């Protein structure tokens, strides 16, 4: 007689026998609405500029960005997160181009919002690193250290101009203490209670950000280890999470995604707000580079990586493959 609680009666392979069987019993499913497309828009260029370390990704012109936004909306992607790349001459110690209503990021926000309306969530990276001549995410003091509280004043102004430019969502990514509360207050002061905050809650000081520095034309000198999280720690993320929620975060994020799936799972288990994860430039570049050499199956690797991120607890994934994968799923 077969023993149905163990082999040979119990045969888990029965549920793997065909594609339709595997699809029916799948515990995790990707959907176009899971995705947000990060996109870069560069000031003063007439054609999209390829990013060498991120094959297939470009620094957009204003026109090509609008086209990319429309394509993302048509594919069913939920949002587009915009990063502005100003001309080098416009960078300064305070990152004033980031709060200029006519700066490249604000212009791009207006462009995209006018193009897609409410069919795509228009999101803005809220940070100064693209706009400062030293490349840090905040204002420096007289000893060259990032001044947390002086930076918060700049973030408050930045949130207001981004909201005025049409952002549905702002994404504070600088990892300054108190940034969520200050930004929430700044938005509410101008009657923009409807603008949501996607907090970069657990953003690690990661080597996987390397290609992103090229993407935004970073002028960084030194590193960001005094304000981004130590890769050795996960309890610290839960403390950051509690503070961000107390200050009014509507959604929270773990960044990078793949190397921090354990952190992502813990964050997802701890909260009742939507959790996002950012599949960062280095994660993208590794798969593209290995696929180019024929070492892995590109399409399967992309879907496997994204499925793993969602399985770990992400409701939303920022990925440079957003539109491509959404079309495949559709």
Instruction: Please say if 203 is a catalytic residue.
Output: yes
Instruction: Please say if 293 is a catalytic residue.
Output: no
Asked if 306 and 319 touch (Cβ cutoff 8 Å), the reply is: yes
What is the number of residues in the chain? 330
Instruction: Report the distance separating Cα 77 and Cα 112, nearest Å.
Output: 14
> Residue 4 annotated as binding?
no
Tell me which residue of 136, 122, 199, 187 sits closest to 159, measured CA to CA.
187
Catalytically annotated residue among 66, 91, 255, 310: 255
Catalytically annotated residue among 66, 91, 203, 310: 203
DSSP characters for 137-197?
SS-B-TTS-B-HHHHHHHHHHHHHHHHHTT-SEEEE-S--TTHHHHHHHHHHHTT-TT-EE
> Residue 281 annotated as binding?
yes
From the number of C-beta atoms within 10 Å of its C-beta (0-12, 13-18, 19+), residue 123 rates as: buried
Kind and range of the H or E run holding 291? helix 281-292
> Residue 224 annotated as binding?
yes
Residue set of the binding site for 5-aminolevulinate = 213, 224, 281, 320
Residue set of the binding site = 213, 224, 240, 281, 320
Residue set of the binding site for Mg(2+) = 240
Active site amino acids: 203, 255
């Amino acid at each position: 007689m077969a023993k149905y609680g163990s082999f040979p009666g119990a045969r888990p392979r029965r549920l793997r026998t065909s594609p339709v069987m595997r699809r029916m019993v799948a515990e995790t499913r990707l959907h176009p609405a899971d995705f947000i497309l990060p996109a870069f828009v560069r000031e003063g260029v007439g054609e999209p500029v390829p990013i060498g370390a991120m094959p297939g990704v470009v620094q957009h012109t204003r026109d090509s960005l609008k086209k990319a936004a429309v394509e993302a909306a048509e594919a069913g992607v939920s949002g587009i997160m915009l990063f502005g790349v100003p001309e080098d001459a416009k960078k300064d110690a305070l990152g004033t181009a980031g709060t200029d209503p006519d700066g490249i990021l604000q212009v791009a926000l207006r462009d995209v919002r006018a193009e897609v309306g409410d069919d795509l969530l228009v999101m803005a990276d809220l940070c100064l690193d693209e706009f400062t001549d030293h490349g840090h995410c905040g204002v420096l003091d007289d000893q060259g250290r990032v001044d947390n509280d002086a930076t918060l004043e700049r973030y408050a102004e930045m949130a207001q101009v981004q909201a005025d430019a049409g952002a549905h969502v702002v994404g504070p990514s600088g990892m300054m203490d108190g940034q969520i509360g200050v930004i929430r207050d700044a938005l509410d002061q101008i009657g923009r209670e409807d603008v949501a905050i996607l907090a970069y809650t657990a953003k690690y000081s990661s080597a996987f950000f390397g290609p992103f520095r090229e993407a935004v034309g970073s002028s960084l000198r030194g590193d960001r280890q005094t304000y981004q999280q130590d890769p050795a720690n996960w309890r610290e993320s839960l403390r950051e999470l509690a503070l961000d929620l107390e200050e009014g975060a509507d959604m929270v994020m773990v960044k990078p995604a793949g190397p921090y799936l354990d952190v992502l799972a813990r964050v997802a288990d701890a909260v009742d707000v939507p959790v996002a994860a950012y599949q960062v430039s280095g994660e993208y570049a590794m798969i593209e580079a290995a696929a180019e050499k024929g070492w892995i199956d590109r399409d399967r690797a992309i879907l496997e990586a994204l499925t793993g991120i969602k399985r770990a607890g992400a409701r939303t994934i920022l990925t440079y493959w957003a539109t491509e994968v959404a079309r495949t799923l559709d």
